[in-house]
Structure 1
């Protein structure tokens, strides 16, 4: 049953945050690193570029050789060779010479500048130059981008495509990252069945299965989902196996006080349940337990409450297992109409926020209406003691898209 006194949300956060998370690492191929969390520092292994190279299609020259070129006194240089990207010339350029060069090609020995192809005239094996260039003009210098030994990316960085590009340039083919947490999900309820248009009396579709898989993947973790009937022996076995196998366990259903709600008692028998019952609306039956140092998040059966409980209490702690410390990004909005909230609870109200006006409108549906998720794009957060929010009054909102990492 519920603990004697409902915990407030802040105290619930504090209890969950005290748990030491077991963060594991693994070595992966760089090409699999997108959206992973780096578990090492990236120290550049090679100079980038590894040699002086042309930054333009044009002609490699000696800058001093064309220092006095002008419209009235043009300088003519003989083109002695042509090199493409990936090719290397063994020719040492002398005064009076130029080598046609492609972008990215290594600068020929003796040259120190590139003149863009558009800035010269080619006539009978020679180029006509009518303006001077400085040394290193249109030349990418060795180590200009990345210098060997430079610390370029620190650990705990969430990697995106451009991070991977820089890491590859720095000389890495493999990187160490934090393992994706493996999350065991136990969905309870004799009434739950797979999607179908032919439901027998008393049965409902198990929609939580699909939502939980998605939100866990949004948290950069891996979901392992099973459904279990409301049978004490089966549930005990499922919980014992899950806490031994996975980094965290999430259950749905069986957290209230109605007949057949078993999960909280099972977790308490196997470990410890410091949280059961929180002054939050919706989601009051939320429970949290620990078995063999494995966290067990016990969510309601109603999909709307499950979504709120996951977003408020679970999501950030799965991210924390990967060294991602994320805080809620509340923003201030203007209430588009009167908003009811219970003053003795932490109210999480589905709503639709208009970015162009800064006005937010609560979604007027019953608490258990699942489609309210589709009709909304944010939560209005009315903490304990807030009570009614009047039209045109200020309120805090939490946009759904700010909850995600990638």
Structure 2
């Protein structure tokens, strides 16, 4: 499904961490990369998707891989834009309320059915919306603007030539470029494709994303937690995020904290692997070392809160994202790194996929210079305040919060009244 660009050699010391002996368990991170460095590394190993041809009925939400140029006019003929009567404008030039003009009804025209007899002087033809204008006709009077008397209509005012008549190419002109390569197809785009006679289009293949959720302490998603076990929240959340961003998802289910089991879970047919849990420096955090030994670990540790244990690498020409097990850290790490890649591959761009609002802070915020902070916030009376609970494991706080803001690396604090961008959940 994917053709890969060559892996670009990264020469900065901070971001070249891959090593056959990269075992940092219980020793801590030697150094952390900036968010910008992590994104740059990811872009250097960015996958190039192949294309496929699909029926237009399946194309909404996909990324167009070809330029579309119409070979036809739409409409392809003069047509009525109203239910009414086709006339010759010259016949009613003298029409007035005091002296209406009578026109004889010479027949009916329905959509898709042309009228073979030309319209003669002082004649009219009853016509429906979308029906072709008869030869000799050059305007349409809406039915509500005439009085019908037997086989005649009475017209009390003149109308201009061309009134209520759609012309060939009025919507689309033959030879016109209507959709460009890279467009994220919307329902109206699909309708347009059909209107110009296209039944299938070339689109980028969807990235295949394989989820690997690790942890001996995890119960299957939706299972009530019991004893010292916790229920897997990350898998269903990540599946929803990948679908939102346009990827196709498969899952290895819950994988034990066992090197052999984790490595086996990596073998799926996929373009992107997302690992949840086991990314940090605990005794059972085997994933970074496995990736370094069997693939490439380009990033391990990011100057960001709450997603500092993020890792990024490659395994058998697949890009691999190591996300923390704590749900909010997982959500944040996904949106900034894994989700960014999927959104870029699916034509959704690299921006965070949330609506934005610029508002003043209602209180000061403190951070650490050199670290990017993801802060959950509340909005009240047009001002922004920090949500009470900011723990990386507290997913309910993300549900209760109105959104989040980002404190940039160069700021150690933000004063009350500072205008900030809030990303609305």
Alpha-carbon distance in structure 1 between the residues aligned to 2:282 and 2:185: 46
* TM-score, scaled to structure 2: 0.88
1:153 corresponds to? 179
Alpha-carbon distance in structure 1 between the residues aligned to 2:116 and 2:175: 30
1:54 corresponds to? 80
Deviation at 1:142, TM superposition (A): 1.4
Tell me if the contact between 1:286 and 1:298 (Cα under 8 Å) persists in the aligned partners: yes
2:19 corresponds to? none
Deviation at 1:222, TM superposition (A): 1.4
Alpha-carbon distance in structure 2 between the residues aligned to 1:370 and 1:232: 28
Tell me if the contact between 1:255 and 1:285 (Cα under 8 Å) persists in the aligned partners: yes
Instruction: Extract unaligned runs of 5+ from structure 1.
Output: 401-406
Alpha-carbon distance in structure 1 between the residues aligned to 2:179 and 2:224: 52
2:412 corresponds to? 387
1:365 corresponds to? 389
2:399 corresponds to? 374
DSSP 3-state at the match of 1:59: strand
1:404 corresponds to? none
2:336 is the alignment partner of 1:312: yes
Tell me if the contact between 2:62 and 2:184 (Cα under 8 Å) persists in the aligned partners: yes
* TM-score, scaled to structure 1: 0.92
Alpha-carbon distance in structure 2 between the residues aligned to 1:309 and 1:225: 18
Matching residue within 214, 222, 226 for 2:240: 214
2:8 corresponds to? none
Alpha-carbon distance in structure 2 between the residues aligned to 1:47 and 1:386: 57
Any residues of structure 2 matched to 1:5-404 within 5 Å, and which?
A: 5-194=31-220, 195-197=222-224, 199=226, 201-226=227-252, 227-239=254-266, 241-242=267-268, 245-328=269-352, 332-353=358-379, 357-367=381-391, 368-400=393-425
Cα RMSD over matched residues? 1.7
206-215 or 329-338, which moves further after superposition? 329-338
Q: Structure 1: which 4+ aligned runs deviate by more than 6 Å?
A: none
Instruction: Extract unaligned runs of 5+ from structure 2.
Output: 1-23
Indicate how the Cα distance of structure 1 residues 255 and 198 shifts in structure 2: closer, same or farther if over 3 A, else same.
closer
Alpha-carbon distance in structure 2 between the residues aligned to 1:332 and 1:202: 42
Indicate how the Cα distance of structure 1 residues 138 and 181 shifts in structure 2: closer, same or farther if over 3 A, else same.
same
2:12 corresponds to? none
99-108 or 77-86, which moves further after superposition? 77-86
DSSP 3-state at the match of 1:163: helix
Tell me if the contact between 1:43 and 1:170 (Cα under 8 Å) persists in the aligned partners: no
Alpha-carbon distance in structure 1 between the residues aligned to 2:69 and 2:419: 48
Deviation string, structure 1 residues 44-78 (Cα, Å, up to 9, x no partner) = 13211121110011111111222222234322111
